[in-house]
Chains A and B, each alone.
Chain A
Amino acid sequence: MTMKTIHMAAALLLGAMAAGCANVERSRDLGNPNVAPEVTAVQVCSACHGVTGISVSPNFPRLAGQQADYIEQQLKNFRSHQRSDPEGFEYMWGISRKLTDEQIKGLAGYFAKQTSTPNTYLHVVANAEQLSEGKKIFETGVAAKETPPCQACHGPKGEGMAAFPRLADQHQDYMAKQLLVFRDTNGRPGTPMEQISHSLTPEQIYSVTAYLQSLPR
């Protein structure tokens, strides 16, 4: 490579900058209403949630097959700062701050139509007894504490319904942390989960979330 080539490369870069060239087909701009939600989903959201909504790290929830209404509501809650759990505040407030209602709806639709797959990664492997306990909570609740069964709202296969999120295949660690947010903080106000989770023990939280991650199809 000669000096001339380096100069040419630099000139090309500067030229592109001067042109201010927008590339909306493959843009990672979160402040441009002209970027299609399908583009934002693969160019930005995929970095944590996976291109088909199957996130690798349990730090980030799986979105594949999630209820569109639920995703839409959560994105709006992040944007308005109504949802302020640590993960929401640290990652999603910024991502959502300039998304339009149309983009949010499109993003929700994109991930809702993806197909979920079994989640085989368990951060801490649950034993048969824990899974059995989790199954019991999911199907019949905890009568002594007046905790209703999860399936009553989230569906018999944990598939969710409208504003009630899909829980099947979700990362155990993510669900456990969210249950603690509901139980111990005001980070996600305005849902029945605050009341439902308030008497769950750490062991029950672990059991039910481990069961949900590996919920049989």
Chain B
Amino acid sequence: MDKDNHCVVGARKGSWLRLMAGWLSLLALLAVLLPIEAQAIPIYARQTGQNCLACHAGGQFPELTPYGRIFKLTGYTMGNRVEVPLAMMAVVSATSVASKTPGTGDTNADFPQNGLMHFTTASLFAGGKITDNIGMFGQWTYNAYAQQDADGHWAGHSGSDQFDLRYADRFIDDQRDLIVGASLNNNPGVTDVWNTFDSAFASTPSYVPVSNPGGNGGPFAGVPAAPIMLQLGPVAAGVSAYAFWNQTVYAELGFYQTANRALSFLSQGVPDSDMPKLKGNASPYWRLALNHDWGPHSAMVGLFGFDTEIYANSPATSGPTTHYRDVGVDAQYQYILDPHVFSAQFSYIRENQSYSEELWNPTNPNYTGNYVNGSNTLAFLRMKGTYVYRAKYGVSLAYAAVNGSADALAYNNSPDGSGNPVPFGNANSTPNTRLWIPEVFWNPIQNVRVGLQYYKFTQYNGSSGNYDGNGRNASDNNTAFLYVWGAY
């Protein structure tokens, strides 16, 4: 899950004919490779010697099975320590947006790489079992189209992605089962084992950032606004402690701060100037969950929250702040019985944002004009259902809805640098968006996945039609996303 999103201007054109020829070549290559069962697979599979589907439901990443949850909660320590604890992942993809107009008039700038099959991202993983109690998940991601230089050429950019260093112990006999642990990680949600935080909803891989409506690379591609706890990416550093009792009750409490200075290894690749600065060293994150497994079924319901204050003038660490209070409810159901896997996830997060007076009160001598209101709310609903047959063929349907209070300064129709209207403008002053994402995918072998997603917007920035006041409709943002994902 790369959080980089510096898309500015596109430079190349392509045709679907060329695109399809490219895809067909890739598929032909896959077909040739099919009879070869993959021998080398990523770190944890090498560590346990098991097939990916032992830990990932239906072989789809990153969704964990009940066994995968235990593997992660016990600190990635099950199995044999591997000699080269490295793995790789790469994504080749293409997007096609329904309509490139109206916009700034430069469609390559508005929808860079649209229609072009391209190498998108690559990740290097390091981790696995370190001692009997300590294990790690470290991900370093390279985004091939992260930014452009002054000449308009794309340049890659790499940086820290997900990081989770754990200490865990398990006290278990026929009377009790208590897993306790601590994690050093780089954003709330990295420690999730029930697939209800960002990555599982976006599927694997997530929507390509370079052609992303709304210009928001994550956490749920396509929506113009999302709660802060899903947006921190690798810029937060925190320690959380957790306990899982009798595989029934889960509790976690963590504290976060900006991942700079001594903790900057957690945010490598993110320049200090791009880093939102959290006030203080202890923004709390908490989670409670109830889990129950019966037969081939597994279910979870939970509550969670995050509370932080971020400097409005970040990277400066002084002046006015926005205080975010996120509270969420989530749930998951899984049915796993070979050859069928069905799973469903639900998450609803309600965020209250309250602002320092200078940010919104015109009578304040230091008024900055960021907001009309002294506080705003943002609600984010996500649901997803997936069916996988024989860990090879899958379909999924996801839904996302954003609802926020109206604020003409927070959500506005700012033109681009030349005064042209941008395609993702906002004439309604609300971030309200509705989005459906059907997907079909195929895993020819366990570490290759080919998928097609369709992002269908029924509402964007507050309306279905003419949301920007320049005639652009929500459905103009509908986007097809085709990808080949591989891990080794």
Binding site for B on A (CB under 8 A): 1-3, 5-7, 9-10, 13, 16-17, 19-24, 26-31, 42-44, 46-48, 51-52, 56-59, 86-87, 89-91, 93-95, 97-98, 121, 123, 173, 177
Q: Are B67 and A16 in contact (CB under 8 A)?
A: no
Q: How far is B174's CA from A57's CA once the two chains are assembled, in angstroms?
A: 18
**Which chain A residue shows the least CB distance to B71?**
A47
Q: How far is B165's CA from A98's CA once the two chains are assembled, in angstroms?
A: 26
Number of A-B residue pairs, CB cutoff 8 Å, is 139
Does any Cβ of A come within 8 Å of B131's Cβ? yes
Q: SS class of chain A's interface: helix, strand, loop or mixed?
A: helix
Chain B min CB distance to A199 (Å): 24
Q: CB-CB < 8 A to B238: which residues of A?
A: 6
Does any Cβ of A come within 8 Å of B229's Cβ? no
Q: CB-CB < 8 A to B130: which residues of A?
A: 17
Does any Cβ of A come within 8 Å of B360's Cβ? no
Q: How far is B51's CA from A94's CA once the two chains are assembled, in angstroms?
A: 8
Q: Per-position contact with A for B289-315: 1 when CB-CB < 8 Å, else 0? A: 000011110000000000000000000
Out of A27, A46, A58, A95, name the residue touching B48 (CB < 8 Å): A95
Chain B min CB distance to A15 (Å): 10
Q: How far is B261's CA from A72's CA once the two chains are assembled, in angstroms?
A: 54
**Which chain A residue shows the least CB distance to B263?**
A6
Out of A2, A27, A51, A95, name the residue touching B172 (CB < 8 Å): A51
Does any Cβ of A come within 8 Å of B275's Cβ? no
Q: How far is B184's CA from A13's CA once the two chains are assembled, in angstroms?
A: 9
Known: A26-B132, A47-B67, A89-B51. A123 touches B296 (CB 8 A): yes
Segment at the interface with A among B77-85, B108-116, B150-158:
B77-85
Q: Are B74 and A3 in contact (CB under 8 A)?
A: no
Out of A1, A19, A30, name the residue touching B239 (CB < 8 Å): A1
Report B221-273 residues with CB < 8 Å from chain A CB: 237-239, 255, 257, 261-263
Q: Are B173 and A16 in contact (CB under 8 A)?
A: no
Could you show 24 A-B contacts with beta carbons less than 8 Å apart? A1-B255, A3-B257, A6-B263, A10-B263, A13-B165, A16-B134, A19-B131, A24-B132, A26-B132, A28-B79, A29-B77, A30-B78, A42-B173, A43-B170, A47-B67, A47-B71, A51-B177, A57-B337, A59-B336, A59-B338, A93-B49, A93-B50, A94-B79, A121-B295
Does any Cβ of A come within 8 Å of B281's Cβ? yes
Does any Cβ of A come within 8 Å of B407's Cβ? no
Q: How far is B49's CA from A94's CA once the two chains are assembled, in angstroms?
A: 3
Q: How far is B337's CA from A58's CA once the two chains are assembled, in angstroms?
A: 7
Instruction: Output the residue of A1, A19, A21 with the most chain B CB within 10 A.
Output: A1
Q: Are B184 and A10 in contact (CB under 8 A)?
A: yes
Q: Are A16 and B172 in contact (CB under 8 A)?
A: no
Out of A1, A42, A57, A91, name the residue touching B281 (CB < 8 Å): A1
Report B32-87 residues with CB < 8 Å from chain A CB: 45, 48-51, 53-54, 66-67, 70-71, 74, 77-81
Out of B165, B171, B257, name the residue touching A6 (CB < 8 Å): B257
